[in-house]
Each structure stands twice: as C-alpha cells, then as structure tokens.
Structure 1
Amino acid sequence: MHAIELSAPSLDALRSVTLPQPQPGPGEVLLRMRAASLNFVDLAVATGRYRVPRFPIIPVADGAGEVAEVGAGVNEFAVGDRVIPHSKPLWVGGPARAQLSTATRGVVLPGSLAEYVVLPASALVPTPAHLSHEAAATLPIAATTAWRALRAANVRPGSVVTLIGTGGVSIFALQLAKAAGATVIITSSSDEKLERAKALGADHTINYRTTPAWDEAVLEITGGNGADLVVETGGTQTFGRSINAAAVGATVFVIGFVTGATASADLMAIMTKAVNVQGNNTGAVSDLRDVVRAIAASKLVPVIDKTFGLDEVPQAYDYLAHGGQHFGKIAIAH
C-alpha cells in the first residue's frame, strides 16, 4: 500500500513509501483512508517539539475513511460504512489513563497518511451523512477538544465564551457555542479573519495586534465580569491574559502552546476568582461520539481553509507551520 512516512523530526523527512497492507484481527477493522487533517501536534511531531518513541512513523493523528474489511466478531460495522477513527483509539471512555490517553495515532500508533490502517472497531464513529470525508477528518482532535471545553464550563444560553485565534479548535468552539446559545468573543491578528468569524456568529471581535491588552477588552465587553470560558491556545504569551479575562468561577481550558509551553500567571487572581484551570488531552472515543451526534443533529459544517492532495503533504505542513495563514482546518485528500 502507499503511505507517507516521517523518518526523523524534520519537515524534510517526509517521504512516500510502499508498505505491506495490514490485516484486521478479531475485533478490528481495516479502513481505506480517504482524508486526513492537520493539527498543531502533527507539526510539533514533525519539527521535534513533541517527542515520539521511534522513527519512522506514519504521521497525522486525524483522518476519515470507509470500512474495507471487518475482523472476526465485528458486527457494528460493514464493508462500505463511512467512519471516523479517533486519534486515541485505545481510550474508549472513562477517565484518562496514561497507557490509554498517550497512545495517539501519528505519534505512537500508525497515523492517517496511509492507504489502509487497522484499528479496533471500538475506536470508530460513524460519519454524519451530511459531511464529506475531508470534513469528517477534521473532527477527532479539534471538535472533540472544543466539545470538552464547552462541557467543562457548562456552557449554556447566556454564557460568555472567549476564544484565542481562529484555528481549528477555536472555530469549532465558536460554532458549537453559538449552537448552545452562548455569547462568543474571538480574537485574531487579522481583521479579515475576524469578519469571517462574525459571519459564523461571533458576537464580539478583538484584533490582538491593534489591541494587545485583549483581556482588558474582554472585561470591558462583559461589563467587568469576564468570560465564563476562555479556550487558551497560546501558551506563554497568552496564559496570564486568559486568567485576567476569566470571570469568577470561570474555566480556563488549556489546549495549546503555540507561543511556548512555559507560562506564568497571577496566583491571587486564580484564587480570588476561583478559576478552574483545566488541561486537556483531546478526549475519549465517547467524547468524539457525543460531538459527532451534536454535529449531525445541528448539520454543522466544519470550516476547511484549504485542502491539499496526498502528493502535497510537505506543502500542507508548510502552510500550517507559517502560523496565522489558516482559518479553521487544513485537510489532506487521499
């Protein structure tokens, strides 16, 4: 089968290879992969910012495809079914456990840049009928993370949600928060992207390049109250401002380290406002199943900024590497 391998932590180490086609065992499914999508973790793996146990690997955590063959004992799927494999296929549900939550596709397990992949049937979620393979491939990490953020903060009608940037998680959180009846504040360095966010329902926009103290702007917009949920994507340069922008009893949901993984904050603010600072490692298959059901019910359509071909994988990584270019997700069509 055709696949893309990453032979070292370098964007120059992506190569096209031919590998034996895997075969499904009992309880497993052989998937014909049809699409993939990039996340920051994929770029971090390919640039050495996220350690992996060994090289070479088949990269990219997220993808979608169709069932090509089922192993013994698999009754819930049939050949031809369109499905989404979760990025953490061993974490089916329940609390995170190291041996389950760290087994990530494209990091420890074979990823989505292969013609075929074998996975446990328990790791698969049916693709909503209204979504293409490319759209479905954007869901495992970004949509699951956004869903868990909203659930952690109990977002409901009247809640205020602040989103940093316009990457995949932020845009999914915008769409899901608006479906839940929340007020959404979103930041970006691009006025053009902020206009696109308004078109998706954002209530307030802040250009953090022209308004560096975007946290103070959030407080002004909310009459001094702050946001009930801040989805913290930036890391070093944004974490302190996220705490300041948070309301009393709010959740700061930490999902990224785009500007660095070391941060400082005012502990008095965290204590006096009783802020819940919560980390996140995507979520279980059950979380993906929940958000897919919500997406199917609301007919939500993921925002794909650009789609590359399988022969354009280096260009797709390069596009993601030059931060600030994309709005929403970057897809790869097999």
Structure 2
Amino acid sequence: MVALSKPLIEQFLVKQSKPNINPLIIPDIPLIDLSKPESKQHLVKACQDFGFFKVVNHGVPSKFINKLETEAVKFFASPVSIKERFGPPNPFGYGNKSIGRNGDVGWVEYLLLNAKPESDYPENFQGIVNDYVTSVKTMACEILELLADEMKLQPRNVFSKLLMDEQSDSVFRVNHYPPCPEFQENEKNGRKLVGFGEHTDPQIISVLRSNNTSGLEILLRDGSWMSVPPDSESFFINVGDSLQVMTNGRFKSVKHRVVANGTKSRLSMIYFGGPPLSEKIAPLPSLMQGEEDSLYKEFTWFEYKKSAFNSRLADNRLGLFEKIIA
C-alpha cells in the first residue's frame, strides 16, 4: 500500500474515549444458543437492553463461511486495477476509503452486493454468495420468528416475511480493513484509526461475521465505547432502525463503529435484511398497549432508505421520523 502523508492519515483518526474506570459495570454481550428452548426470552431481552447479541448453534454451514471468506481474501489481495473494475459503487460494487456520498471516509475497502440471487457479482463469487446469503437469511428469519413468538405477535412471520418477500431490499457487504503501518505512531498517542464510522443500521436486522481480528465497538448507554471480542465461529446480530420503529422503541438499534489497526487485517461479512421498498414501516398495532402513543411517523422503506442515503453516518437518522409527543 502506498505510504500516506500525515495530513491524509489525520482524516481517519479520532481521539480515544476515556476508558470505563469501573470494570465491574462493563456489561457482557448477550450470548444466545439458538438450539435451546429458552432462547426466545433471551433474544427479546437482548434486543431491549442492547440491540446487539451473539448467537451460536446458528445452523450456517462452516463450508459456506470458509468458501466465501477465501474468495473475499483473494479478491482484496488483487491489484487495485482488478478491484476497480467493479467500482465505483452505484450503489453496488467496489469502494475504497469513501463511504457514501456525504464525505464519510474510513480505512476500509469493500464490496457492496445486491442480496438477490440473480444479481451480478465478481468472478468466483456468484454461487458462493448465494449459498451463504440464503443460509444466513434463514437464520435471521428464525431469530425474527422467535422474537415474534415470545412477544405473542400474530402472524408469527410478521417480521420475517419482509425478508422472505421476493421484493425484499436486502444487501450484502464484505468489508476489508487493511493494516496501516503509518498509524502505529498515532496509536501510541491515544488515537484510533476509523475503519467505519459510528452509525446505526437502517434495515430490520443485520447479521455479521468477521475473522479473528478485533475492531468492532458498540456505544453503551453511558456514552462509552465497548470493544466486541472477535469470534469467527459465531454471528453477531444488530437490531436495525426499522425493527426499532416496528416495536415502537422496545428494541434498540445500537450505534456501532469499526476501528482498524496498524498490523492486522480484518475481514467482515454483513447481511442487511431489508423490507420491500414499498413496505410501510410503523409501530405494529398489536404491540401498542392501552393509550400508548406511536413514537414514529409512518414511512415507506424507500423514504427511509433515501433519507439515510442522504445523511452522514453519525446522524440520528430516525430523528426526522420521530413524533413529538405533547
């Protein structure tokens, strides 16, 4: 990689937040075994308290994970001229450093792909991505149906049907955070290298898998950032903004970010389960208790997606759709 000048590196750096001085109040990330009958109640609690959790016994075959990671590593190790044949993203394709169109940058290169089976992918990705996405989507739908069960919602597929719909607007992203040797001096000065800036995911649910390199952080309610220990055998699940709205704020869409480092490469693969573009997103009437007010205005997924696309990563995207309760 070409050596970077100091002014260029500066745009990727943030000051490290003060560490939580009391390790006793650092929460554990919920770990949920999907094979256990009690997983339903644990899932609901995790969505309410964190909006983020880890699942094991997820049913996604390791061969699908390994094949896709192998091809992704090969792709990102290719010459820049090869990778740029698949860019710039519009919205799908290969991107490097620039995230979105509103000035966000990160120490990352990525492939953003349509999750539909008939989509065009780089060579060697086609069947592998389809196998992986199909399996991960099945797991995501199982989680959404377990949540509906525990919340006594009818029909049971009230959430999952949006992902299973033929018009589902779901996307798949592979992120590569390369090493940055020029960063090591700044690391000693208490600064972090931003791989992907702080944000919430606008869709219904996100399913993340990464290699064994750390970097993912979630924002706790006290305003501090918590590092998520890597685990290449498990999946991490994020509640998306749309699911927060559909549950009228019961489930929380957690703000998260990725920090890169000077010596290790990190690879992550994320399935973002989204509804059809025409789907109306609003709190479910069956969840509204007594005189409970809706916290959000109704909107279509197209409207919200367009609004999110026109915002910065760190913006409160749901703010524009919140109701002012007298």
TM-score, normalized by length of structure 1?
Answer: 0.23
TM-score, normalized by length of structure 2?
Answer: 0.23
